[in-house]
Structure 1
Amino acid sequence: MSEFTRRSFLVTGIAAGAVAAVPGAAHADPGAESAGAESAASLASRGLRTDPFTLGVASGDPDAEGFVIWTRLAQRPLAEDGMGGMPALPFPVQWQIYADEGGRRVVRRGTALARPDWGHSVHVEVGGLSADRDYWYRFRVGPYLSPIGRARTAPHPLSFGSPLAMAFVSCAQYEHGYFTAYRRLAEDHPDLVLHLGDYQYEYTRDTYTIPGGNIRDHEGPETETLANYRQRHAQYKTDPDLQAAHAAAPWLVVWDDHELDNNWADEIPEKPEVPQPNFLARREAAFRAYYENMPLRRTSVPRGVDMQLYRRIRWGALATFHMLDTRQYRDDQGCGDGYSACPEASDPARSITGEQQERWLIDGFRRSRARWDVIGQQVFFAQRDNNAGPLKVTSQDAWDGYVASRRRITQGWVDAGVRNPVVLTGDVHAHWASDLKLDYDDPTGRTVGSELVATSISTTGDGKDSDPATHPYLKINPHLKFYNNQRGYVLTRIEPGALTADFRVVPKVTEAGAEAYTRATFVVEDRAPGVQQTYLRPLDPSLARRAEPSDAERIQEVVDAETRRP
């Protein structure tokens, strides 16, 4: 990286290509050198006296011609007013795109305006690049240089391109442990990362605790205002492991609940029985801060209490990623948010996606010609009954609480003849793999899809390993094929003939620096819906010798891991 000198950043490169961003925030500028070369003394006179690139860099939402690049200026990222210690002034930010990791071949450059009303964030939509290849990028303000990040363009729409290394993650509670899994993910060199929600948590310190006490503390109160959410996002973004993961590859992001409020549903907070007259203002603040801190295109700029987050990203002819929003449009959870035998779960009028998003998704199935249709979303899709008897007890916050909605979408991909439907899920703080059915009450019924679930990055602390074959959920629900209650991520390799998923595990997050290993590997073969286990790491003999907990205890372990218990 030594080639990335201030001088080369200023004077190398060719004419900039077309870009777009938050209105007024970025433009192509062949004369960007003069705008970005403001002296340190001049910047200091306007209040910029130290390195503002404390939050790292990120890229996202790639297509065959480009991607978004992002940064946010913050001299003091944990400032209580949420402004990161920045003056209430706009600052021009230079950016460059490189064709080589050494930074010698600049292929695009321009300036972006970091404005105080958008938290001094920068979103640049870069176009005009070659398909299916790596690029690198960097930002500059005066003498200050950002870290460098790697991005990648998607293949041409008619090409499969090279095999896709895609990782997906969810649920990073800063207080519960170190973000080592993000670091290990970066070291696996993915081409694309999906974050499926709970990027940050809203609680004030010591509200959501793990046994033995939290490892780190949140700054500030429970997030309710724009200043609160900006400060919280900034605290997470200062983590070096998270910065490494963002810099490693482009991300596709969607939220779940903790980006706003635990278990929120449309305009209804977690506890509707408690008067919260400012909830819609809180929602507007959370959405704005989320956009400011994520590498999203301008199609996702929030408008008041609404934000367009569901979208479709095509990775050539290989895969289409349908990214869903299962929070903003859902009906309120029936019978409370937890596990219950709830008659409302079967009400055909209830939806977890809302009618418009459901139509958009099913229409996307009909139009898709991709080899793999991948649905990136938040909460458990397959049925998970935790009662061995005739009574069905399921999580009302997951798709089990919206049975007809799940059935319509599943039937939608079956009727559309989707070749390989795969659902990717976060939320539940454990690794799972399952077959998807139209009728879960018929164990011999046809398998029509596959679900892969990523555990948390850190939420609930270290967790523990066990023999997945003995888990009662797998006995009660034969379509569930794997369970592991440790922290980590899922690393996949997508090729025309198969999707291979390694369930990666970090055995400890209460201490920094643990190595990652693959706990199990599952394969989904082309035109063969359902997951097939091809590798299972032997259980540590010391764990195998211990007394196994009862089925009731193991079921309670799952419920506890998924339920906030302050």
Structure 2
Amino acid sequence: MTPASHQSSQPSQHAPELRAAARHLGRRRFLTVTGAAAALAFAVNLPAAGAASAAELDARRITADPFTLGIASGDPQPSSVLLWTRLAPRPYEADGGLPASRVTVHWELAHDARFRRIARRGTATAHPEFRHTVHVEVPHLDPGREYYYRFRTGSWTSGTGRTRTAPATGAQAARLKLAAVSCQAYHDGYYTAYGHLAQDDVDVVFHLGDYLYEYAVTSAGGARAYTDRVLPDLFNHETVTLEDYRLRYALYKTDPDLRAAHAAHPFVVTWDDHETENNYADDVSENEDPPEEFLLRRAAAYRAYWEHQPLRRTQLPQGPDAQLYRRLHWGRLAQFDVLDTRQYRSNQAYGDGAHVPGPESDDPARTITGATQERWLINGWRSSRALWNVVPQQVTFSQRKLDLNPAAKLSMDAWDGYRASRQRVLAGAKSAGVDNLMVLTGDVHVGYAFDIKDDFDDPSSRTLGTEIVATSLTSGKDGSEKPSNWATYTKANPHLKFYNGQRGYVTVELGRSQARADFKTVAAVTTPGAAIRTAGSFVTEVGEQGLREV
């Protein structure tokens, strides 16, 4: 990572100039002009390539544990893993309790949890410009192996994490067990499900969005209703600036159950809306702020997201842009096409709520992925040699009628609001000969299992794949096993095979003959310590798509 100078993180200082530039250049051309893009980068504290680095701090001067936000790994490849940590001895302070200096961090990767057989070791620099986060891409590893890792700086050593590499590219892997999680509003409850997930036997965790929420968190922790601690007032407002987003990640990552899950399993992450702002679409904010102002906020949010997630350098944002969509493989067993359905989408039709579809929502020019990402997805299917083609993404893909009227309302924020986009994607899957398609989804705070139909209004039409929707970790608070609209949704949508409104996560085991999904739920998140149970289990067969309860 190129060292860079420390620059101002206050976007408000530059907003007048940016507004003037946008008025002159126009909404879409704004970001393509070098001067305006440079001003935008400056406003969110983006280090300039080749700039002089900050001085180095003697790590022996760190007098409190700097690993308060835990450790993580992500995006496993056959010969490489990504290791992450952030140094923050005082995580609820803007600078994390460290001066604006570089810090040398040692890392180790071993074959065993006692670090007797070291596979790789090295050093990395924690730069103050990235709020002392560390992203280590460890190369030259053996495929299909489990590894253990840790970090050290000064006299401090982090906890031990477990990660793994993917099987070799052409390997005929027999199985993969993944977990899918989403929507973890800190103020809505305890991360009890993460504590259970840390003990679950899974190979990788897919986080499908809403890792962070921009909403205020009270001194009592919202629904957590702390009686033994008081959170600083600095969390009790909506996140807008880079400092706001960084501090909010610090709050989330001090949770012990979240830290345990990250240490236990590698994560593959993608964002939805709340990591930036509720229901935004490309450069259109929820409250229709001027796009040049919203893009400052988006740049800050994207920057903080990359800093605090186990992501590689290729995902590092450039101002308000970041290519988060990417492709991973698990030998010849599975191809994962991780999507971003926020950054490139057309603005929601008829507002962003429930509406009967019409000419605006069904305009074929509308897109939820953007044209480039759509081509990338379909071309990837055409070249795929995997048995299972899995699409981890954000919002409900299958048709979901919200009432029993002849012309039912649909969610304009989900793929139902972009039906032409969905049809192009499904046509691409059919033309590519994708036989075993699975979509992984978050967002809606409930667990769903859908058959993806060639014609959703004809239950007898061909089943093209399956969609597994992971419920929230906490968002929506405790929830209920059968929400008030359960009967309506199950009757209106015959391709909906499962619906549960409690909190938790879902595991999916992909095999050579079938895939099995198990929906894991807890009874409550507003009080800690709830037990985990399996609320429903389904299988879909290779070559014969369609969910069957087991």
Aligning the two structures, in what range does the TM-score lie when normalised by the shorter sequence?
0.7 to 0.9
1:502 CA displacement: 0.5
Is residue 287 of structure 1 aligned with residue 302 of structure 2? yes
Match of 1:473 among 470, 476, 489: 489
Q: Partners in 2 of 1:155 and 1:23 — Cα distance?
A: 31
Q: How many residues align?
A: 490
The residue correspondences of 1:73-472 to structure 2 (distance < 5 A) are 73-79=87-93, 81=94, 83-205=95-217, 215=225, 219-272=235-288, 278-343=293-358, 344-466=360-482, 471-472=487-488
- Classify 1:470/1:116 alpha carbon distance in 2 versus 1 (closer, same or farther; 3 Å): closer
What letter matches 1:508 in structure 2?
A
CA RMSD of superposed structures (Å)? 1.9
Q: Partners in 1 of 2:531 and 2:127 — Cα distance?
A: 40
8 Å CA contact retained: 1:24, 1:113: no
1:296 partner SS: coil
Identity, % of aligned positions:
51
1:443 CA displacement: 1.7
- Classify 1:109/1:162 alpha carbon distance in 2 versus 1 (closer, same or farther; 3 Å): farther
Equivalent position of 1:63 in the other structure: 77
Task: Tell me the TM-score normalized by structure 1.
Answer: 0.84
8 Å CA contact retained: 1:468, 1:484: no
1:140 partner SS: strand
1:206 CA displacement: 5.8
1:278 partner SS: helix
- Classify 1:173/1:470 alpha carbon distance in 2 versus 1 (closer, same or farther; 3 Å): closer
8 Å CA contact retained: 2:190, 2:224: no
Worse-superposed segment, 466-475 or 168-177: 466-475
8 Å CA contact retained: 1:59, 1:67: yes
1:352 partner SS: coil
Structure 2 gaps, min length 5: 5-56
Structure 1 gaps, min length 5: 1-21, 26-39, 535-566
1:85 CA displacement: 1.3
1:468 CA displacement: 11
Equivalent position of 1:29 in the other structure: none
1:392 CA displacement: 2.5
- Classify 1:172/1:514 alpha carbon distance in 2 versus 1 (closer, same or farther; 3 Å): same
8 Å CA contact retained: 1:468, 1:482: no
1:100 CA displacement: 1.0
Equivalent position of 1:563 in the other structure: none
Match of 1:517 among 515, 518, 533: 533
8 Å CA contact retained: 1:454, 1:489: yes
- Classify 1:499/1:469 alpha carbon distance in 2 versus 1 (closer, same or farther; 3 Å): farther
Q: Partners in 1 of 2:145 and 2:192 — Cα distance?
A: 28
Match of 2:503 among 464, 487, 497: 487
1:24 CA displacement: 5.5
8 Å CA contact retained: 2:174, 2:512: no
Q: Partners in 2 of 1:131 and 1:487 — Cα distance?
A: 34
Task: Tell me the TM-score normalized by structure 2.
Answer: 0.86
- Classify 1:425/1:236 alpha carbon distance in 2 versus 1 (closer, same or farther; 3 Å): same
1:127 CA displacement: 1.2
Worse-superposed segment, 354-363 or 521-530: 521-530
1:233 partner SS: helix
